[in-house]
Amino acid sequence: MSLELASTRAELDGLLARHGDARTAAREMTPAPRTAVVMTMGALHDGHAALVRAARAHVGPAGFVVVTVFVNPLQFGAGEDLDRYPRTLESDLKTAEEAGADAVFAPSADEVYPGGAPQVRISAGPMGERLEGAVRPGHFDGMLTVVAKLLHLTRPDVAFYGQKDAQQLGLIRRMARDLNFPVEIVGVPTVREDDGLALSSRNRFLSTAERRTALALSRALFAARDRLGAQHALRARAESAPTSKARAAALSALGEARAAADTHAVAHAASRTPRTPGCGAHAVRSAARVVLDQAVRDSPSLTLDYLALVDPADFTEVPDDHTGDAVLAVAARVGTTRLIDNIPLTFGAAQ
């Protein structure tokens, strides 16, 4: 089946109806064919293709995968890059088809918002006022409003979103749960370029020198992840092979400075109580901050909007003794281009 393009709600309804007829004909199949949606603003790259491939793998060859391409004006604030945002529908269609999509829904703004901007919108609530929401007031209200509309229009069983936009993913999950949307929300890991930079349609606006500076975002996240891994490893050694401070002192007296320092570290980790995790959030933040502080001094420089280690359930900052899942998120400007990135972390477990 070749890729089909719909630009209006009526055309989309026709595509979904034909798929519905096929699902009815295949109702004896177990499991029944499912519909998946991947929502994009176009300018598709390998990150979007990974979402489409994940959707195709999830629903199987009998399922139906719809990619939406719509640059949503509601989520762009004053002075943001709505007009600058790339529109590349022809290449988007090729990318979507090669990744396994069955259809692309690429409506106009008038088709999505007949009569102008909607008077009734979805509020992102307190979670939508933090981090990206604080920097871009109203952004998440506009995002959730269009996501809700597109979920109604495409009527999927499952919807796929990238982990790169972690706060967006968290809010969509919260909306689906709070408002009883009958859809499964699936997050797909961030796709990165060979040098570590998270894929984004905005990367094309970076000069060669700016790109070198922008790599500080991913380097900071990886440094934090490595610090957490090292702390977990030290904690595991302390629990499996506790050692004494007396042995560390003896090694030091013998001139074995490196071995003594290592033994001191393990002894210190072993002395901590079970209620005090050995992998503090402060150390993780600090490891990332060192990399970002250097990038601020570089030329061209990086202007940091935020670095935050947050609970993925509500995007509030986690305490230093946090255990469980967290997201380390960063946003910064390099030149005129604003970039975001994040990495999921788990405290209190081996990485």
> Which of the residues are catalytic?
48
CA gap 284, 232 in Å, rounded: 12
Rounded distance between C-alpha atoms, residue 139 and residue 325, angstroms: 25
SS (H, E, C) the chain: CCCEEECCHHHHHHHHHHHHHHHHHCCCCCCCCCEEEEEECCCCCHHHHHHHHHHHHHHCCCCEEEEEECCCHHHCCCCCCCCCCCCCHHHHHHHHHHHCCCEEECCCHHHHCCCCCCCCCCCCCHHHHCCHHHHCCCHHHHHHHHHHHHHHHHCCCEEEEEHHHHHHHHHHHHHHHHCCCCCEEEEECCCECCCCCECCHHHHHCCHHHHHHHHHHHHHHHHHHHHHHHHHHHHHHHHHCCCCHHHHHHHHHCCCHHHHHHHHHHHHHHHCCCCCCCCCHHHHHHHHHHHHHHHHHCCCCEEEEEEEEECCCCCCECCCCCCEEEEEEEEEEECCEEEEEEEEEEECCCC
